[in-house]
Each structure stands twice: as structure tokens, then as C-alpha cells.
């Protein structure tokens, strides 16, 4: 299969440079940043103090700091929050005008493997590859792989990172030091209190409206998030999946991603 390349115009970059760049971000994000080498990419989140997901992002190692790959509509809000946290840290935080590209199903030359799962392909920044596909095609591929887009699927401050599968997609380093929201995140992992997760669902016809209930008989299982014809991401109760599921009266099948243990 020939690899495809798309320009993700919905993504934007933030530059964090300076002698304290890695330590500054390491105290905030769910991933370890201290040993990030130039060119390495990690998936991470910035949480609220109670532990809910505010921003999902990629952390890209640079020789003099770090680049953050974020949702374009959230870049300004994240910039403001980082500046608020900066205090006396010796860091420069600013927008980065470079573009974000993805390749799939393979990691083509000049790209770095997506840290969430190898099934997603690769990412590249500021290069000028030949674009052969649309961002909508990439989004369909992501959904086929079963990986959520937390920014669009859940919204800001609506869900816990583990409910968005960060623990299964290399988005949390449970062995690192403190980060914002760590107490709640670690407690959920330690106690196994994971009642809800984001899972893809398949059905016939157009995607139901966001927020449409997913039912098991008369029992509410969860709700539809975002999707397309035939498939959508959903937020579901894991203990209510046995049985005949429906949405809008249509039969629904949960599509367990191959990377997710059952």
C-alpha cells in the first residue's frame, strides 16, 4: 500500500526554549520530558489540578528546548496557561509558524513514528513533503485505528486522561515525578477505577448527533462523540457492553482496537 501524506491544518505549534524548558514542562505534563532527545516525540496531556484533561499534545525534542504540537484552536489558551505557570523559569514561550504533517500507514522518510501506536504512521514538522491526501482522510484512518481525538471528542476539562485511553496510548509516565493532576490520575490507575473509556462503534448510515445516547435495552451505556458515516467514537460504561447495543434505534457494534486489551 502506498503511503499517504496529509497537512494537518487544524494543528499548531508552540516553541518552548531556554535552559529551564525541559524541567518546566516536566513539572506540568503527564509525560517525562527530561530525557527527551532531539527529534523524539512523546504524547502527553496537561491536566487541571483535579485531574481532568485540558490539553492533549505531542512533545517534540529540540536541541535547545521543546516544541509542542497542539490543536490549533487551543494554541492561544495553552500559551496563556504556560505563561501563567512560568513564574521564574528561564523559558521563552511563543507560537511556531511551522506546519504539521502526517504519513500513514507507514512512517515515510523524514517522519517520526506516532508515539501512541505504530498503526497511526508518522508525524513531521516544518518540512515540505508532497501532500497526497486530505486531513479528513487522515482523521478517518485515526478513527479506523480506534484512537480518540480528545480535544474534539471530549472537549476541555470534561474527562480524565485514562478515560481517553492515555494510559494505553503512551500518554502518561506513571514513574515520573509530580505533574499537575497526578494524584487523581495515579489513584485511578492504582485502584483500577476505570469505569468508562472511549471506544469506536460501528453502525449503518450517517453518524448520530454528538451526545446521542448509546443504549443496552433501556440501560444507558454512554454517548456518541464524533464520527462519520458508519463509525464514531463513543464514551461508554465498560460494565454495560454485554448485550444488544443500539443508537437511534440502530444496531451498534463496539469495535475493540487491536492495541487495547480487553
* pLDDT tier for residue 189 given thresholds of 50, 70 and 90: confident
Please check whether residues 202 and 141 belong to one and the same domain.
no
Length of the chain: 262
Please check whether residues 147 and 228 belong to one and the same domain.
no
Range of the domain at 229: 195-262
* pLDDT tier for residue 192 given thresholds of 50, 70 and 90: confident
Instruction: Select from 119, 205, 129, 116 the least CA-distant residue to 167.
Output: 116
Quickly tell me which residue has 469506536 as its cell. 200
In a domain, 4, yes or no: no
Question: CATH number of the domain that 92 lies in?
Answer: 3.30.70.1400
Please check whether residues 147 and 259 belong to one and the same domain.
no
| 129 pLDDT higher than 90 | yes
Q: How many CB atoms lie within 10 A of CB 109?
A: 10
* pLDDT tier for residue 62 given thresholds of 50, 70 and 90: very high
Please check whether residues 15 and 84 belong to one and the same domain.
yes
User: Which residues have a Cβ under 8 Å from the Cβ of 164 and sit 6 or more positions away?
Assistant: 53, 56, 148, 150, 153, 154, 197, 198
Quickly tell me which residue has 443508537 as its cell. 247
Q: According to the model, what pLDDT value does residue 147 have?
A: 98
Instruction: Kindly report which listed range (29-43, 104-118, 177-191, 203-217) carries the lowest average pLDDT score.
Output: 177-191
Angle at 161 between CA 179 and CA 90, to 5 degrees: 30
The CA distance from 114 to 108, in Å, is 12
| 155 pLDDT higher than 80 | no
pLDDT digits (tens, 9 = 90+) for 65-81: 999 999 999 999 999 99
The answer to whether 159 and 166 have CB atoms below 8 angstroms apart is no
114 three-class SS: coil
Please check whether residues 202 and 82 belong to one and the same domain.
no
Q: According to the model, what pLDDT value does residue 9 have?
A: 97
Q: Please state the domain count of the chain.
A: 2
Question: CATH number of the domain that 233 lies in?
Answer: 2.40.30.110
The answer to whether 51 and 183 have CB atoms below 8 angstroms apart is yes
In a domain, 171, yes or no: no
Q: Residues 81-95: what's their mean pLDDT?
A: 95
Please check whether residues 67 and 149 belong to one and the same domain.
yes
In a domain, 19, yes or no: yes
Amino acid at each position: 500500500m502506498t503511503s499517504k501524506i496529509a497537512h494537518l491544518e487544524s494543528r499548531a505549534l508552540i516553541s518552548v526554549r531556554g535552559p529551564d524548558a525541559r524541567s518546566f514542562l516536566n513539572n506540568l505534563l503527564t509525560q517525562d520530558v527530561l530525557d527527551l532527545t532531539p527529534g523524539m516525540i512523546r504524547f502527553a496531556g496537561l491536566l487541571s489540578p483535579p485531574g481532568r484533561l485540558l490539553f492533549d499534545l505531542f512533545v517534540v525534542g529540540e536541541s535547545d528546548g521543546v516544541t509542542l504540537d497542539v490543536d490549533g484552536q487551543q494554541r492561544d489558551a495553552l500559551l496563556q496557561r504556560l505563561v501563567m505557570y512560568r513564574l521564574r523559569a528561564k523559558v521563552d514561550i511563543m507560537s511556531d509558524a511551522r506546519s504539521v504533517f502526517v504519513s500513514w500507514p507507514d512512517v515515510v522518510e523524514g517522519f517520526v513514528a506516532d508515539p501512541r501506536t505504530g498503526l497511526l504512521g508518522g508525524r513531521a514538522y516544518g518540512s515540505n513533503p508532497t501532500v497526497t491526501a486530505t486531513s479528513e482522510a487522515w482523521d478517518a484512518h485515526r478513527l479506523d485505528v480506534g484512537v480518540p481525538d480528545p480535544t474534539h471528542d471530549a472537549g476541555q476539562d470534561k474527562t480524565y486522561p485514562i478515560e481517553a485511553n492515555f494510559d494505553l496510548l503512551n500518554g502518561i509516565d506513571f514513574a515520573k515525578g509530580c505533574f499537575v493532576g497526578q494524584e487523581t490520575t495515579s489513584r485511578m490507575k492504582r485502584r483500577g477505577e476505570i469505569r468508562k473509556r472511549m471506544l469506536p462503534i460501528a453502525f449503518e448510515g450517517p453518524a448520530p448527533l454528538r451526545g446521542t445516547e448509546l443504549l443496552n435495552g433501556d440501560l444507558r451505556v454512554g454517548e456518541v462523540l464524533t464520527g462519520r458515516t458508519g463509525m464514531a467514537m463513543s464514551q461508554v460504561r465498560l460494565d454495560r457492553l454485554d448485550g444488544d447495543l443500539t443508537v437511534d434505534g440502530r444496531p451498534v457494534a463496539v469495535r475493540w482496537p487491536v492495541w487495547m486489551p480487553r
